[in-house]
Chains A and B, each alone.
Chain A
């Protein structure tokens, strides 16, 4: 128990002393999380909308692919991305291996199917009369799509927070393509894994608390949105 209490004490000391390394790692995680979420949702939400509303050949197969991608192991994703970004890989010339961009790319690939699948479900949950009503009142294709999206806005906001939550909590791909390099690609999750294995329990716990805080904020935001959605 002393070991645990000591860990907490050191964690709080690191947090409140403004330790540069701790906050550097937290800020990098936040940066990667925001970039990856924006890109994944920027692509995933329209894709999900199209999957839910546009009849096209292979739509059912596309939905199955997206839903299957939800369960894609992040370590395997990292492995595939590593093979692409490594010097001998087809994207080796880009020089992204062991950079924060590689971690963000992995996170985008991880969050994209989440955003698409959940957005499709959110849009499919909108009463079909909304679409017909917008159309019969004279709305064109884009205005109708916007109206349907507005009806699903709370669910779509929940999709964004869920994607962000997955991105900041991801470790497999970040470890493989980021390399966990101090001051460059060390994120909250990879740092927690490293410091725990090194026995620096206090530092690991401090970073874990920040990660928990982020997860808490995401969940509070999610619940607030869902609560407003029922109003």
Chain B
């Protein structure tokens, strides 16, 4: 179990990560989603023991660990824009194995194995300037898998890959996890990738974990002009009403299960009612991390996702392009 406990991290006095607890259990498939600048890469660097948190502790199997110790050999990070050493691809793959003093025969066996699975065998003799960005990313993942870490951290692993390469990558990760107890923590700004692949999806916004599911997160500024606890914040071209005493920069989260979906506006107490059109429907099973149900994405001036049952989709005849009304109470909006 790799954990961050009471961790706060600052760059030049600015807090970039503030987490009460973040744990990656053995064998888990965790996805961390969030917009650029939300603290995902910092989180992974702390988990990888490449940086020491400004405050708080990093624990590996209950023991406090620090950068520079041998604990780092249990965790490997593949950065968003990975870099290869000035050497051949094969020499890059050998690096982590040589560091561990693994015998030549075993080194060769592992390299052939991982190169085959990630389809980089023809690249083994090439050098970094002879590779595309996507190939560099695959080699970097292969280099990390070759050392067989207990925890593999991947920062936007499919950002430079085409669809086929991304599928190969996710399939390889699944095979590796089936073969041995490997925990994977993946950072992505794409919810679809996260839900497709991970068992546990967590959202990060402005360095903090969202208390709700990762959909419908908006960075807003709650001004002091509002009176009382009912405040309105501009999101896209709409204003979302929320009950909060918070003032200043904040994150609004609208839980998808708290959104009422209808064809016509409803006479109700909901302070937020937005009309728009369905842009997509996605069905996710209970094991897919999305909690089941149908995820209805609609453009209502801003993109919102609601979760409804299959029966509701049928009764309302929801389909991409069909008109739809999303309603939710101001008190349903989470502010943090």
Contact = CB atoms under 8 A, between A and B. Distances in A.
Interface of A: 127, 129-130, 132-141, 143, 147, 150-151, 231
B99 A137 contact: yes
Contacts, number: 54
A129 B79 contact: yes
Given A138-B73, A138-B147, A141-B68, A133 B85 contact: yes
B83 A133 contact: yes
Contacts of A231: 129
A151 B85 contact: yes
B86 interface: yes
Nearest to A132: B50
Most buried by B among A137, A140, A143: A137
A133 B79 contact: yes
Contacts of B96: 137-139
B100 A151 contact: no
B304 interface: no
A141 B67 CA distance: 11
A137 B147 contact: yes
A129 B50 contact: no
B77 interface: yes
A127 B77 contact: no
B interface residue count range (under 10 / 10 to 19 / 20 to 34 / 35 or more): 20 to 34
Nearest to B83: A129
A135 B100 CA distance: 12
A133 B72 contact: no
Given A137-B96, A139-B99, 13 more contacts: A130-B85, A134-B95, A136-B48, A136-B76, A137-B99, A137-B144, A138-B100, A138-B147, A139-B96, A140-B99, A143-B99, A147-B95, A151-B85
Interface string B42-80: 000100101000000000000000011000110111010
B143 A137 contact: yes
Contacts of B292: none
Given A137-B144, A150-B85, A151-B85, A132 B79 contact: yes
8 contacts: A132-B50, A132-B77, A136-B72, A137-B99, A137-B147, A139-B95, A147-B85, A151-B86
A117 B230 CA distance: 61
Contacts of A141: 68
Nearest 3 pairs between A and B by C-beta? A137-B96, A129-B83, A138-B73
Given A150-B85, A151-B85, A137 B76 contact: yes
Nearest to A137: B96
A221 to B, nearest CB: 20
A137 B86 contact: no
A135 B77 CA distance: 10
Contacts of A134: 85, 95
Contacts of B75: 136
A147 to B, nearest CB: 7
Nearest to B86: A151
Most buried by B among A127, A129, A150: A129
